[in-house]
């Protein structure tokens, strides 16, 4: 008997007359699963059922068209996401052993061959983005029951993480070198921690410049993003508020940052302006447009903001991403222990206050003797 668990249900597989039989029992109980497997074996042996014909898995080349159609339908408002997957998919299709293979024939060996071939010309980060696309495709094929198994897709180590942080002094120099609309976009990202795509998609209807009753700041609302956690409300600092007020006086379209036609700026256009400003200031290529958001979140962590709050502000998908910005100093660790000790003393004082007077006096006297 050979059963294995996939997700919450058991599957079985065995050979019968040289044919591989693999079926889901749709059961979460191993004993029941073995009984179902035994019944299938018996039925085959008696000739009561024939070996079920499984349709061949589609070719990668054909499934790629379905995958792109899926991405376009799910991300119709995110042209950059669609373009990203299309570009990575085109790279995968250039490798004959993948493009011409049926999905169920793409195994760890073929994937490793692709990695070796690509690493001859590009870095780990590029290969990893392509591998992530392949993994998503194969998982989707499994979800649609085109294949029974998803091979393990192992990403490469050594991917460089851009962790450039803009200093306060260089911030002023950089912003002065920025042409519009980059100057205002960069300021907003540095003050609110927005993703560049979130800033470019921000409509005026989601900006409230005057504080609500009981609040100190105005705010902006992010309605969509990379995950459900991207939906959030962010207070506006004085700098961000002033910039938005000035911009609102000359605004003519629905978007905060709209081009002459009233449309959304392309990320590539803003990145081009950033590269020009970066060259004027004399900063290296590690200073990418995303570094502005990274700078803001790093400043939050350095100021003592906890990881959960950073996760809420940044719209991260998990606390793991936010934790990289939190680096408690030795002084912060000592203050934590001081608060722990003070909380213990407070509890002890409160407990004595609630005790009868005679017992409280006895405890106090005992404590005095022990000292």
Share of the chain above pLDDT 90, in %: 50
Exposed (0-12), middle (13-18) or buried (19+): which is 241, by Cβ within 10 Å? buried
Least trusted range by pLDDT, from 99-113, 119-133, 286-300, 320-334: 320-334
Q: Is the pLDDT of residue 330 over 60?
A: yes
Q: Is the pLDDT of residue 273 over 70?
A: yes
Share of the chain above pLDDT 70, in %: 87
Enter the tokens of residue 170: 């260089």
Per-residue pLDDT at 52: 53
Contact 291, 165 (CB under 8 A): yes
Per-residue pLDDT at 370: 43
Taking each continuous run of H as one helix and of E as one strand, the counts in the chain are 16, 6
User: Phi and psi at residue 219, in whole multiples of 5°?
Assistant: -155, 165
Report the distance separating Cα 326 and Cα 266, nearest Å.
Answer: 32
Contact 34, 3 (CB under 8 A): yes
Residue 191: closest CA among 155, 215, 160, 166 = 166
Over residues 173-197, the mean pLDDT reads 95
Contact 245, 209 (CB under 8 A): yes
pLDDT band for position 65 (cuts 50, 70, 90): very high
| pLDDT tens profile 4-51 | 888 888 888 888 777 778 888 888 888 888 888 888 888 777 665 555
Over residues 99-119, the mean pLDDT reads 93
Cα torsion at 83, 85, 91, 96 (round to 10°)? -130
So what CATH class is 168-323?
mainly alpha
More confident residue, 330 or 100: 100
Contact 311, 322 (CB under 8 A): yes
Per-residue pLDDT at 56: 87
Q: Which of helix, strand or coil describes residue 304?
A: coil
Contact 36, 25 (CB under 8 A): yes
Q: Are strands 9-16 and 19-27 parallel, antiparallel or unpaired?
A: antiparallel
| Beta-strand runs (E) in the chain | 3-6, 9-16, 19-27, 207-208, 219-222, 232-235
Contact 326, 314 (CB under 8 A): no
Report the alpha-carbon angle 25-30-32, nearest 5.
Answer: 60
Enter the tokens of residue 339: 């608060």
More confident residue, 359 or 338: 338
Contact 87, 126 (CB under 8 A): no
Per-residue pLDDT at 204: 95
Q: Where are the domains of the chain?
A: 3-45, 60-143, 168-323, 335-370
| pLDDT tens profile 201-247 | 999 999 999 998 888 999 999 987 766 788 899 999 999 999 999 99
Over residues 85-90, the mean pLDDT reads 94
Report the distance separating Cα 337 and Cα 340, nearest Å.
Answer: 5
Per-residue pLDDT at 369: 42
Least trusted range by pLDDT, from 58-72, 176-190, 330-344: 330-344
Return all residues near 46 (Cβ < 8 A) that are at least 6 apart. Answer: none
| pLDDT tens profile 253-266 | 899 999 888 888 98
Q: Is the pLDDT of residue 363 over 60?
A: no
Within 10 angstroms of residue 186's Cβ, the number of other Cβ atoms is: 23
Which residue has tokens 């007020």? 245
Q: Is the pLDDT of residue 53 over 70?
A: no
């Amino acid at each position: 008997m050979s059963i294995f668990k996939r997700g919450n249900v058991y599957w079985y597989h065995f050979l019968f007359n040289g044919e591989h039989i693999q079926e889901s029992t749709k059961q979460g109980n191993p004993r029941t699963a073995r009984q179902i497997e035994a019944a299938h074996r018996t039925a085959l042996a008696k000739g009561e059922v024939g070996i079920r014909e499984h349709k061949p898995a589609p070719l990668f080349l054909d499934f790629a068209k379905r995958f792109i159609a899926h991405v376009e339908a799910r991300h119709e408002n995110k042209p950059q996401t669609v373009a990203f997957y299309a570009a990575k998919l085109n790279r995968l299709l250039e490798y004959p052993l993948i493009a011409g293979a049926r999905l169920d024939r793409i195994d760890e060996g073929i994937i490793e061959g692709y990695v070796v071939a690509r690493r001859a010309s590009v870095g780990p980060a590029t290969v990893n983005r392509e591998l992530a696309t392949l993994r998503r495709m194969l998982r989707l094929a499994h979800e649609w029951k085109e294949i029974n198994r998803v091979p393990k897709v192992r990403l490469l180590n050594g991917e460089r993480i851009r962790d450039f942080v803009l200093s306060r002094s260089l911030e002023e120099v950089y912003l002065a070198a920025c042409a519009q609309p980059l100057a205002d976009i960069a300021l907003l990202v540095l003050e609110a921690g927005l993703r560049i795509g979130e800033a470019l998609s921000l409509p005026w209807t989601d900006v409230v410049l005057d504080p609500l009753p009981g609040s100190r700041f105005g705010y902006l609302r992010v309605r969509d993003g990379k995950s459900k956690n991207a939906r959030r409300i962010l207070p506006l600092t004085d700098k961000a508020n002033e910039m938005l007020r000035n911009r609102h006086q000359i605004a003519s379209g629905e978007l905060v940052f709209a081009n002459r036609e009233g449309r959304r700026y392309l990320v590539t256009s803003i990145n081009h302006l950033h590269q020009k400003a970066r060259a004027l200031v004399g900063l290296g290529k590690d200073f990418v447009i995303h570094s502005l958001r990274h700078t803001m979140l790093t400043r939050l962590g350095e100021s003592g903001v906890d990881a959960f709050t950073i996760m809420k502000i940044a719209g991260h998908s998990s606390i793991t991403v936010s934790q990289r910005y939190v680096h408690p100093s030795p002084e912060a660790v000592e203050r934590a222990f001081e608060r722990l000790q003070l909380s213990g003393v407070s509890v002890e004082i409160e407990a004595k206050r609630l005790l009868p007077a005679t017992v409280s006096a006895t405890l106090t006297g005992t404590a005095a003797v022990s000292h």
